[in-house]
Amino acid sequence: MSTSSSTAGTVGAPDHAARPLTGQDYKTLALAALGGALEFYDFIIFVFFATVIGQLFFPPSMPDWLRQFQTFGIFAAGYLARPLGGIIMAHFGDLLGRKKMFTLSILLMSVPTLAMGLLPTYHSIGLLAPLALLLLRVLQGAAVGGEVPGAWVFVSEHVPKRHVGYACGTLTAGLTAGILLGSLVATGMNSIFTPVELHDWAWRVPFLLGGVFGIASMYLRQWLHETPVFAELKQRKALAAEMPLKSVVRDHRGAVAVSMLLTWMLSAGIVVVILMTPTFLQKLFGFDGRTALVANSFATLALSIGCVVAGILADRFGARRTLFVGGILLAATAYLLYTTVGTHPDLLIPLYSLAGFMVGTVGAIPYVLVNAFPAQVRFSGLSFSYNVSYAIFGGLTPMIVTLMLKGNPLAPAHYVIVVCLIGIVTALFVKKAA
């Protein structure tokens, strides 16, 4: 297990590590978080219209459970594509610069999102419709595979070491705000348009908006500067002497293992509690779409706040304690949500908000990941660990939980509990890994 990461965040001069946050730091965090929110909106808006997309892009004669399974399968394809895009962009990010890849990922995201809003449906072109949707989803996955790790590396290398948790938590809050934006747009669409209008044409609007958001994100990132850490490595000619990923796999296997297991916990919280629960609230407990999405908006807002709180706690008390306690509370609140809302629907918003806030525990995970690898291979190490794990666990989770639901209505909660237990055990090894 790598121990060189203990100084990975202090590639710059010692006074950089000790200085307070400046106005420029806050500007960098704000621009990075806002750009990340707009790009993440593009990636997840698909899931909020999964029911309508399933009806439009698959044969009408297909059983409802199979249609939902295949729709979530296309959603999962975005996760399965993340490693390739992430590894390629991370490779060049370690050798050519963080900012260049940080900007490129937006273009790779906004174009497929715009194209989704223009796609003909199964009624028009038959099987070509789901195949085209799958291709565009793969391109989105490749883009977000570089965006998320690149964003964490970018902000962590701009701020003093003692504020890395806060920076990563804030950036993660920005990414989750993209989910909130998606939820609000979906809620607005369900409020303004009738189900027939959504089915006929209005479902396209959120994807077309995503293309506009992508252009706005590209503009925002023109105001960002290369990280001081990479600039110093380049000046000292201390960049990776060999392929960064080769060094990661050979020299930092322990850090990779811990990073992958913690990413599994992150994916379970985000995918199950935040992204899939609105659909389950409708299918399992009979809530209408608007009510489920309003509750999801509250939960996602609480998630964004929780991410910042978790990052601050990681700076103050360490990621190990933060993840250990947070994992226990996340498991408990997820179980409480799924066992209570069926009999007490009036408690949906407070219980879902509480669960969302505890999902914010994942805001401490990037603190571990960016400190787990030395600066020369940080982007590649983080991207490889995070994206491979998310491809396996985040990508398969929707289908696994959907299949489990056929025999167990509490499957989503049970899945989150099991993964949280794995995360809690993994947290015990964080001190050695980072």
pLDDT > 70 fraction of the chain, expressed in percent and rounded? 94
Instruction: State pLDDT tens for residues 192-239.
Output: 999 899 989 999 999 999 888 888 877 777 777 777 777 777 777 656
Q: How confident is the model at residue 434 (pLDDT cuts 50, 70, 90)?
A: very low
Domain limits, the chain: 17-433
Contacts of 242 (CB under 8 A, 6+ apart): none
CA distances from 419 to 345, 357, 383, 398, 422 (A): 26, 17, 21, 14, 5
The CATH topology of domain 17-433 is: Growth Hormone; Chain: A; (1.20.1250)
Contacts of 297 (CB under 8 A, 6+ apart): 180, 183, 184, 187
Q: Which pair of structure tokens corresponds to residue 262?
A: 């913690």
**Cα 429 from Cα 323, distance rounded (Å):** 11
DSSP string, 208-221: HHHHHHHHHHHHHG
**Cα 150 from Cα 103, distance rounded (Å):** 10
**Cα 52 from Cα 68, distance rounded (Å):** 10
Residue 39 has pLDDT above 90, yes or no: no
Residue type, 57: F
Task: Go through 371-406 and write b for each residue having 16 or more CB atoms within 10 A of its CB, e for each that does not.
Answer: bbbbbbbbbbbbbbbbbbbbbbbbbbbbbbbbeebe
- Specify whether the CB–CB gap between 361 and 352 falls below 8 A: no
- 224: three-class secondary structure by DSSP: coil
DSSP string, 159-227: S-GGGHHHHHHHHHHHHHHHHHHHHHHHHHHHHHS-HHHHHHTGGGHHHHHHHHHHHHHHHHGGG----
- 96: three-class secondary structure by DSSP: coil
**Nearest Cα residue to 190 out of 297, 69, 343:** 297
Residue 154 has pLDDT above 70, yes or no: yes
Q: Report, as an integer, the average pLDDT of 356-367.
A: 95
- Specify whether the CB–CB gap between 116 and 136 falls below 8 A: yes
- Specify whether the CB–CB gap between 141 and 388 falls below 8 A: no
- Specify whether the CB–CB gap between 398 and 276 falls below 8 A: yes
Residue length of the chain: 434
Instruction: State pLDDT tens for residues 164-184.
Output: 999 999 999 998 898 889 888
What pLDDT score was predicted for residue 190?
Answer: 85
Instruction: State pLDDT tens for residues 256-304.
Output: 999 999 999 999 999 999 988 988 999 888 898 888 988 988 999 999 9
Contacts of 173 (CB under 8 A, 6+ apart): 33, 303, 304, 305, 307, 308, 360, 363
Question: How much is the mean pLDDT over the chain?
Answer: 86
Has this prediction a pTM greater than 0.85? no
CA distances from 223 to 203, 226, 401 (A): 33, 10, 42
